[in-house]
Amino acid sequence: MQQYILQRVLLNLLVIFMVATLVFLVLRIDTDFVVTQQAAQTQITDPGATERARDIVRADLGLDGSIFVQYRTYLWNISHLDLGESFAAREDVIDEIGNRIGPSLELGLLQIMVALLVAVPIGIISAIRQDTVIDYVLRFFSIALLGIPVFVLGVLVLLLVARDPIGYTPPLTTYRDLLPFPPFETGRGVDVWVNLQIMFMPAIIGGLGTGAIIMRFLRSQMLEVMRQDYVRTAWSKGLQERVIILRHALKNALIPVLTVVGLLLGTLVSANVVLETIFVIPGIGLWVVNAIGQFDYPVIQGVVLVIAVILVFVNLLVDISYAWLDPRIRFG
């Protein structure tokens, strides 16, 4: 087991290195455009002064050396957790990520909770009541949630609850922290009620879409497991349906589902760009949208790297958890 974990950690480090290299190359395809946009914000009209402004921007981005020097400096900086400085806020990117990752994590975790609370019982009921009316109804709603884009659903929910007779609008401009400690602390003050008023709508909207994916996977896996010989043997022994479903079928059916949940966990920080923008949640998603509009080169680079690291190591935890769900699995 220890050897397997060590091998996977080394492999993940190689993957992160390749991702970092790819980010470096992609963001240097058209550096002149970024340099020109940043230099233009100085509002200098003199040609000589404009070129000097471009030189300053190149130096800030580390683009004033050869490609090999840039790459070496880039790797050295990220190995020391130096992701550069944001153009807009003039703050270290790593510090800004630390200040903004809390709301994104909270929203993502709430969505996973909603998804599991909805998907697990519905997936089980749909599988054990295959081809009945309740199965058709549950499958219809899951397919509908998969087909409706999250931004459409988010805007639709906001419009519906804001109309009479509900007449409710969440306090979108007064975000408050849920917990008074990092990483969930943003310095905006702690107010559990205000925080949950802002979070519960995007959590339910995103959780239902995520839950539809988990439900479809769980249903198909449950149907496959229910046809196995050991499940038929349990039925023939006269065991209770609850025992057969929960103890014998569900645990084995969860192994492929866990992979899907792991991928969703890995995208907690990055998958809510639209919802954070609609509901004005000061997380990573809203920050990246603003950074793209401002051509904030270091922010985009830093966020991509952080998301890659999170996704890679969440997948490692998912692989290790397989042994808990199925003791027959051995890592060599």
**DSSP per position, 21-68:** HHHHHHTTSSHHHHHHHHHHTT---SHHHHHHHHHHHHHHHT-SS-HH
First to last CA, the chain: 7
- pTM of the predicted protein model: 0.78
Give phi and psi for 85, each to the nearest 5.
-120, 135
What local confidence, expressed as pLDDT, does residue 40 receive?
Answer: 67
Q: What is the DSSP letter of 163?
A: S
| Residue 265 and residue 258 in contact, taking contact as beta carbons nearer than 8 Å | no
What local confidence, expressed as pLDDT, does residue 331 receive?
Answer: 57
What local confidence, expressed as pLDDT, does residue 48 receive?
Answer: 61
CA dist., res. 115 & res. 217, Å (int):
13
Residue with tokens 């690291």: 309
CA dist., res. 57 & res. 195, Å (int):
39
pLDDT along the chain (332 residues), means of 10: 74 85 79 69 60 74 76 85 77 83 86 88 87 88 82 81 74 76 74 83 86 86 84 80 79 77 71 81 83 79 84 78 64 55
The answer for 330, left when phi > 0, alpha when psi is -120 to 50, beta otherwise, is beta
| Residue 145 and residue 209 in contact, taking contact as beta carbons nearer than 8 Å | yes
What local confidence, expressed as pLDDT, does residue 37 receive?
Answer: 67
Amino acid at 131: D
What local confidence, expressed as pLDDT, does residue 323 receive?
Answer: 64
Query: Of 3, 12, 27, whose CA–CA distance to 316 is shortest?
Result: 12
What local confidence, expressed as pLDDT, does residue 67 receive?
Answer: 80
CA dist., res. 112 & res. 203, Å (int):
8
Reading the block at residue 7, the tokens are 């091998």
What local confidence, expressed as pLDDT, does residue 38 receive?
Answer: 67
Q: In whole angstroms, how far apart are CA 96 and each of 15, 253, 290?
A: 25, 40, 13
CA dist., res. 253 & res. 218, Å (int):
7
CA dist., res. 273 & res. 159, Å (int):
20
What local confidence, expressed as pLDDT, does residue 316 receive?
Answer: 78
Query: Of 281, 284, 271, 285, whose CA–CA distance to 314 is shortest?
Result: 271
The CATH number of 99-325 is 1.10.3720.10
Beta-bridge partner residues of 92: 85
Q: What is the DSSP letter of 92?
A: B
Domain locations in the chain as residue ranges: 2-79, 99-325
